[in-house]
Amino acid sequence: MAKTKILIPDMGDFKDVEIIEVLVKEGQNIKKNDSLITLESDKSSVEVPSTHEGIVEKINVKVGDKVNKGDLILNLISDTETVQKKENVSEDQVLRNEKQNFKEKKEEQVKSKESVPAISSLTSGTKSASPKVRKFARELGKNISEIPGSERGGRVNEEDIKKYVRTQPFTQLKDEKKIYKEEYDHKEFGEVEIRDLPRVKKISGPQLVRSWTEIPHVTQHDEIDITEMEKFRSSLIDYYTGEKISVTPLAFITKAVVKALQEYPNFNCSLGPNNKVFYKKYIHIGFAVDTPHGLMVPKLRNVDQMDIKVIGQELRRVSRECRDLKIDKKEFFGGSITISSLGGIGGTFFTPIINPPEVAILGVGKSFEKITKLNGQVRSRKMLPISLSYDHRMIDGAEAARFCVHLGQSLGKDFAFKLAV
């Protein structure tokens, strides 16, 4: 067996070039011209190929290292007979060969007439792209060599990556290091504590990534005057006992959403394969529950068949089951739309992320007093901030605006009539 050292070639005027990817691992069998690492400067990125074939014995570099000409990349173990058949090349000759490869690559980039320097590989299967685009692909955990490029010569841009992500079926990322790349050791700056990600967040995290990257989100913000509704809610008293009835604003909001879904069925559907749309004849509304274990989104089934008092009771029951981890997992599926309410905590507008396969989610902030002019008089009114995120493939802006207006009418001064309280 023979050992061969693979070194950083001559890179011209560049010094302290950062390694952004290590493309092989120890024990891997590689061939001549297989890519070993990716280097990135301010102007371009390039993959360094192997000048020999063999088995990787030891890798001497890692992501984030800054290297120069002659630095050791890795050691190869080659079969003795194979080595004897090949020309015995000295380290100086290796450097000269690699320098020639880089010169040829540089000449190709000059001839390309591209305004942005290309990211190219010295192997045949690698796509051309700018450093910014390549970084964008890495952040999404995508291999840029698999993405079809729309520019000349198959060059990949950001739109190509976005299009590719939208057309790919969702799978668990195999290499989470591409997403959670540690740029430095946090311990260098002080004491740290390392914990495992909670189980609920491990489950919901990939779903959130899928939703944010695959669905074209648009968020409509609005304010609803709930002055009369709040006065009514605070005055509810049991007819027989004389005790005050406690019904949260979320129960009224849920009832209003039911009415809006019945008026605008595009919000109660799911997109399917082959451009099919599944319109749901049922109304199951999900709502976000803040628990010590993480955020959960159970569904209330057949909410259109409940009155506001029953909705309030069901909200409390399901929330309690989530906090006690007694909720059946099937209750997290099959929803029409989701409501995420931060009213009990604070805040106004935000951008809630759609819970696929649903096509919309309603975010609710904390109500506040607002001075406004009503019927020619300046008055203080109780306003409710809402944020409606929707899938633009199914719902357009005009329909979303009408949905919000409908909610405002259902929760406004005529709420008792609209909601049949």
The closest of 136, 132, 203 to 164, measured between CA atoms, is 136
Q: What is the DSSP letter of 332?
A: G
In the chain the first and final C-alpha atoms are separated, in Å, by 86
Amino acid letter at 253? I
Active-site residue among 52, 221, 392, 406? Answer: 392
Cα 359 from Cα 83, distance rounded (Å): 61
Cα 381 from Cα 35, distance rounded (Å): 66
CA 74 distance to own-chain centroid: 35
The closest of 304, 220, 297, 320 to 254, measured between CA atoms, is 304
Per-residue H/E/C for 90-136? CHHHHHHHHHHHHHHHHHHHHHCCCCCCCEEECCCCCCCECHHHHHH
Cα 57 from Cα 309, distance rounded (Å): 70
State yes or no: is 392 an active-site residue. Answer: yes
Contact criterion met (CB below 8 Å) for 296 and 207: no
Counting Cβ atoms within 10 Å, is residue 119 exposed (0-12), middle (13-18) or buried (19+)? buried
Query: Cα angle vertex 246, ends 241, 250, to 5°?
Result: 150
The closest of 143, 141, 160, 163 to 152, measured between CA atoms, is 160
Tokens matching residue 402: 């009408």
Cα 407 from Cα 400, distance rounded (Å): 11
CA 32 distance to own-chain centroid: 38
The closest of 183, 168, 179, 178 to 205, measured between CA atoms, is 179
Catalytic residues: 392
